Amino acid sequence: MQSTALAYPSEAAATLRPSEYTAALIQTLRRRAAWVRGADVLEIGCGSGVVLAAAGALGAVSLCGVDIESDAVWASAVLLRELGHGDKAELHHGDLWRPVSGRRFDLILANLPEFPMQPGSFGGRLSTWSSGGEDGRRLLDPFLEGLAEHLAPGGRAIATHNGFVDLARSRRIVERHGLTCRVADTAMIPIVPDKLALMTPAALRAAEGRSIHRYGPHAFGEVHVVEIGVSNNLD
């Protein structure tokens, strides 16, 4: 997406503000700076554009973003241009892999909605924010299934993965396509009451005391950042 006069309404930008998940992904990305330098980078679900901006700052040669929300595509274009990365950025409005069908990338990033809940609005967010369907895997599974055919030879992926969304199942999916999934980092993320109230009851019962921990009125959930690729390229 190219424009000579970009502006973005502040109220819309607020709905796309980066979260703790975004921070965890950027932290791992910075630790893997060698993977980013000189890479063609794709982010599925680019949101505010800040993860692509971090990749640009670390030396990516091209930045491609995809998001189902037109506001996110616009916000990403604004941010990347403001930070001097507009000439190497392309943004697409569309669903998951469709806008980049047939293309391959050195590094693929994702911070997808994986919370086990149906779409619902809370905290001033878009209704699609965080909602991963009944089991949290509505977008995660097709992302993992399509990953191998969009990674360049030697390519890798870095993605957030909720601790209460079956990591073993994710490993099995990528292994069917000849890839390995490993946990690079784990963080505890606060879950606000309004969001927790929307969580699928069965998923909440399964996660209580395992990957969701309560301290009085406060709840925290485990989130992993995973690295995916051919095993000998993850070192």
Residue 228 lies in a domain: yes
pTM of the model: 0.91
CATH number of 187's domain: 3.40.50.150
Kindly give the parts of the chain with pLDDT less than 70.
1-13, 119-129
Determine, yes or no, domain membership for 46: yes
How many domains, in total, are found in the chain?
1
DSSP 32-68: THHHHTT-EEEEES-TTSHHHHHHHHTT-SEEEEEES
Kindly state whether residue 125 falls inside one of the protein's structural domains. Answer: yes
Whether residue 48 lies inside any domain: the answer is yes
What pLDDT does 128 receive? 66
CB-based contact 162:221 (threshold 8 Å): yes
What's residue 130's pLDDT?
73
Residue 177 lies in a domain: yes
pLDDT at 120: 63
Residues spanned by the domain of 186:
18-233
Rounded to an integer, what distance in angstroms lies between the CA atom of residue 191 and that of residue 189?
6
Q: Which residue has the tokens 């601790």?
A: 163
In a domain, 5, yes or no: no
Task: Check residue 216 and give its pLDDT.
Answer: 94
- Comparing C-alpha atoms, which of 89, 97, 6 is closest to residue 40? 89
